[in-house]
Structure 1
Amino acid sequence: MNVTSVSFPYGESIHWFSPEKIKSLPENQLKDWLLATGSLTQRLKTHCTHFEVKVLGEHLLTPLEDEFPSHNDPVWIREVLLCLDGTPWVFARTLIPQHILDASHNQFIHLGTRPLGELLFTSPAITPGNIEVAQFETCGRLAALATSLQQQVNTSLWGRRRYFNLHGSQLIVSEIFLPAAVEYINTL
């Protein structure tokens, strides 16, 4: 895998939609994965022997335009690959405002290779919000990332975004399914 932190951040400006307002949602197994309300980490772990988080980069940065509409200050951005048996399945991008980092005693910035999902779905202080979805063209930065991972991008990629509430503030987690994941999911 030739992905390095030199390329961080990979995120791109994306238009997210409520699932009820997008007509082109996939009509296969992927739709169920996009709209699932539980922990994606837990679900992924049931489809492999070895689950791994590869950190692409994490740093305090200014979010992309329209990425965090109510927030213009720098946020902690963490980008990772969620890998199943050595194969990257999901690109995940997390945005956490500084005041959440300060109040959380660094539990977010010291995750290392631990999955964020374990923290998000085990803490009673964190409440998951609604899911939004997006379709990514084959010529975008995330398609280029998939190609660099030796995954051929023949069709649009799909992803989901979810806000998580913590003490009246929000953090955002986006998860984009890479071609290897889509190929496997559609055989289920």
Structure 2
Amino acid sequence: MKVLDRLSSTRAGWLNKPINSGHYHHWLIDGGSLTSRLQRASKRFAVKPIDVHYAKPYEDEVALLNLKKSKLVLVRDVHLISNGTPVVVAHSILPRNSMRGRWHGLGRLGNKPLGGALFTNPKVMRTPLAYKKLLPHHDLYALVAQSVDVVPSFLWARRSIFRLNKAVILVTEIFLPEVLAL
């Protein structure tokens, strides 16, 4: 099954459009590089790693990437920071077989943005964005709650798969309320 087909058949509550997303709407639907947009909107932009480790992906990520449930992937969680304030939590899933060839160094990005590697290569293809309003029971909401001081009653997120030949990376971006000030 093609990656695009899996994206639509395994959404697990993810939406094709960010319905009732209010002020977050323009941030969610922008199909360009979020890193570039934040860099333009910020006097100081930074990436701060939260955690980089091998783990089993969340259940809907397993289905989306067509992985075995026991398969370990590289999980990279970072804060995207504007003017000293975290505005987005980025959660990336990199299957081991995707970290070969041109993407072999992606596991060692540290405080460098992943977007730089993905959007500068014209051969990288991106699936359509999917959207979700995250509530406190969701694993990604819990991830954010562990890494920031104050979490609202819900968070908006978007995700897509980036593909270079057979290599795939799932990137989920969770928008913190502070992004609305930019």
TM-score band, normalised by shorter chain: 0.7 to 0.9
Which TM-score applies when normalising by structure 2? 0.81
Which TM-score applies when normalising by structure 1? 0.79
Contact 2:50 2:147 in 1 (8 A): no
- Structure 1, unaligned runs of 5 or more: 1-13
Aligned-residue offset at 1:152: 4.8
Equivalent residue number for residue 145 of structure 1:
144
Matched, 1:43 2:47: no
- Structure number having the greater helix percentage: 2
Tell me how far apart the structure 1 counterparts of residues 56 and 137 of structure 2 sit (CA, whole Å): 24
Contact 2:49 2:79 in 1 (8 A): yes
Tell me how far apart the structure 2 counterparts of residues 139 and 158 of structure 1 sit (CA, whole Å): 14
Q: Which residue of the other structure, out of 6, 11, 16, is the alignment partner of 1:19?
A: 16
* Aligned-partner residue type, residue 47 of structure 2: V
Tell me how far apart the structure 2 counterparts of residues 105 and 150 of structure 1 sit (CA, whole Å): 33
Aligned-residue offset at 1:19: 2.4
Label 1:105 to 1:161 Cα distance change in 2 as closer, same or farther (>3 A). closer
Equivalent residue number for residue 100 of structure 1:
98
Tell me how far apart the structure 2 counterparts of residues 35 and 64 of structure 1 sit (CA, whole Å): 24
SS in 1 for 2:41: coil
* Count of aligned positions: 167
SS in 1 for 2:106: coil
- Structure 2, unaligned runs of 5 or more: 1-10
Tell me how far apart the structure 2 counterparts of residues 68 and 181 of structure 1 sit (CA, whole Å): 29
Equivalent residue number for residue 3 of structure 2:
none
Aligned-residue offset at 1:138: 4.4
Equivalent residue number for residue 4 of structure 1:
none
Tell me how far apart the structure 2 counterparts of residues 145 and 52 of structure 1 sit (CA, whole Å): 17
SS in 1 for 2:22: coil
Q: Percent identity?
A: 30
For residues 62-141 of structure 1, the aligned pairs below 5 Å read 62-69=56-63, 70-72=66-68, 73-104=71-102, 106-138=104-136
